[in-house]
Amino acid sequence: MAHPRSRPRLSCRNTRLPDGLTEKFIEKILALRSSPKVDHLQAEFLTKFVSVDTAPAELRKSRAIEKWLATEVKNEQTNERILLTHEEYNILPRVTFARFVSYCQKLIVDTIGETVPEEALCGSFSGGASTSRQRTKSHPATKYLGKAHVTESAVQWLEPLAQLLPLWLGSDPGPVPESESVRGYDSIKPSWLIERASRSSFRELFSHEIVPGNEMFTVPKNADIDRVACKEPDINMFIQKGIGGYIRRRLRLNGINLNDQSINRSFAREGSLTGNLATLDLSSASDSISRSFVELMLPVSWFTVLDSVRSHVTVIDGVEHRNEMFSSMGNGFTFELQSLLFWVLVRAVRYFEGVSGVISIYGDDIICPAAIVPELIWVMSYFGFTVNTKKSFWTGDFRESCGGHYIDGYDITPFYLKGPLLKLTDVIHVANQLREWARFEGHSILNPEVESIWLWLKHMVPSEFWGGENTSFKYQLVSDDVPKMRLREETVSRGTGTGGYLHWLNATQGRTKASDGVETSSETSGLNRFRCVKVRTPAVPRLTALFYHEVVPTSE
């Protein structure tokens, strides 16, 4: 007999689903009656679909690498063009190159300052892969211990970091005494670490290995091609993330909030109504930031620091490639740097064109006055960037930005089927996406035609997982049923010891309340297994409605 407190387990990977489920779902979506919203969904929802029947993984990867290398050829041309541009060249009518660049430089200095502050060097580690650690072994806590990778140009920052972070880089705590290593970071006493730190030197603790640069990898993008990203060396990434965080904070003080995509979406909706705002998207934006462009725009101090911690070399399948680009996706400051640079370019064009209007930037998603688009496209092109005309809109009544799609103010944002429906979580996820897409704005009623598809999916989900309320949550089906259980990814607890404690100290630095913390001892198992978790029934009666916004407390 099972222990009364034991929890039932479910292997989501092994859940039996009907044969041909994916094909039947696609057929049902394509059979929906025509409307602007349905037509847009049918045109978009399979554009990111990847399966064994689409282009093979090796072909998608090779196409992505070829595209990346072609961008590098273009970057080399941009570097040369910028270096040879005469200061009297008119980049806009009656606006010289020198005057335009000077305006951009002043905006940047006013935003981030002339010099790099110490706080910008103190970054953090993420759970992503690095050149020294695979994704499955890259818990942030582990990166504070053992040998770390660093490029030769970034080694110079180890000593300054040791002064700023003495508990990590300036000490050698050694093995934790047996009496103090009961379980994870909770058992490590700060006083013990501080005492050991005072007896040690930087050289005794830190072990590093110099590597040539980052390493390329690809992830699925759509049926035809992958997306390229790069794994950075550990110490480079740590500092890069500090710099990126600092630029992000400074941009927010100037009205650009990189923590909130809904701002761009709201302006996209406004643009679809009024026609006054354009939504622009760039092709290979981060990979098109050339070295000369960054050097031209940034103060000398900033360029020197960023240049020293970026990867000058990318290793592609064991072959070293010296980069013409400044940084790629995977670098800890690329997103913030590109947002800053695009923001000043758009502001400069708006200023010299004498146009007023909203500017909002989120990476390469750009909101700007429609009146400046032709001139902005030219300026962007001169500095090496290509506006994707298939995803950019400045005429007509359609706008798209940060995942929001609007026509004449009406939200027609599609959802995407990114792969076959093979697991229970796949069915829950697509059913929740369908439900969110199908509801009428301001109401929680589903279109009857779509509701029949949703009910078909619902009955493939065990009833104990009905009753969810969050359509972005793939572990419980959103419905008006009383919640009973939900799925939860299995985790493994590892005693992260000193590394966990250092991670906790760094991640919670500057916190404003005691509840601001991080998980330092648990990570997903990577086995694609889930367990059931009971959902506590609310004390008040549940109203009969299709959507709810309050959070149902759960207990394990």
Q: What is the pLDDT of residue 258?
A: 96
Q: Which residue bears the tokens 């407190």?
A: 5
Ranges in the chain, pLDDT < 50 = 1-13, 171-205, 525-527, 538-556
Q: Between the CA of residue 246 and those of 240, 264, 299, 366, what are the distances in Å?
A: 10, 21, 15, 21
Phi, psi torsion values for 532, nearest 5 degrees: -85, 140
Q: Which residue bears the tokens 């509701």?
A: 451
Q: What is the pLDDT of residue 29?
A: 96
Task: Look up residue 468 and give its two tokens.
Answer: 């969810």
Q: What is the pLDDT of residue 17?
A: 84
Q: What is the pLDDT of residue 68?
A: 94
What's the rounded Cα separation, in Å, for the pair 219 and 526? 17
Nearest to 229 by CA among 286, 304, 151: 286
What's the rounded Cα separation, in Å, for the pair 141 and 498? 8
What's the rounded Cα separation, in Å, for the pair 361 and 263? 9
Task: Look up residue 384 and give its two tokens.
Answer: 């090496």
Answer for the pair 194, 167: CB distance below 8 angstroms, yes or no: yes
Nearest to 466 by CA among 420, 535, 415: 535
Nearest to 247 by CA among 175, 140, 340: 340
Answer for the pair 240, 310: CB distance below 8 angstroms, yes or no: yes
Q: What is the pLDDT of residue 199?
A: 40
Nearest to 467 by CA among 415, 423, 426, 428: 428
- pLDDT tens digits, residue range 352-411? 999 999 999 999 999 999 999 999 999 999 999 999 999 999 999 999 999 999 999 999
Task: Look up residue 118 and give its two tokens.
Answer: 């110490």
Q: What is the pLDDT of residue 206?
A: 53
Nearest to 398 by CA among 268, 276, 283, 280: 268
Phi, psi torsion values for 325, nearest 5 degrees: -75, 160
Q: What is the pLDDT of residue 146?
A: 72
DSSP string, 277-342: EEEEEEETTGGG-BHHHHHHHS-HHHHHHHHHHS-SEEEETTEEEE-SBS--BTBTTHHHHHHHHH
pTM as predicted = 0.83
Q: What is the pLDDT of residue 320?
A: 96
Q: What is the pLDDT of residue 112?
A: 97
What's the rounded Cα separation, in Å, for the pair 27 and 85? 55
Q: Which residue bears the tokens 């994704």?
A: 135
Q: What is the pLDDT of residue 39?
A: 96
Task: Look up residue 553 and give its two tokens.
Answer: 């407390």
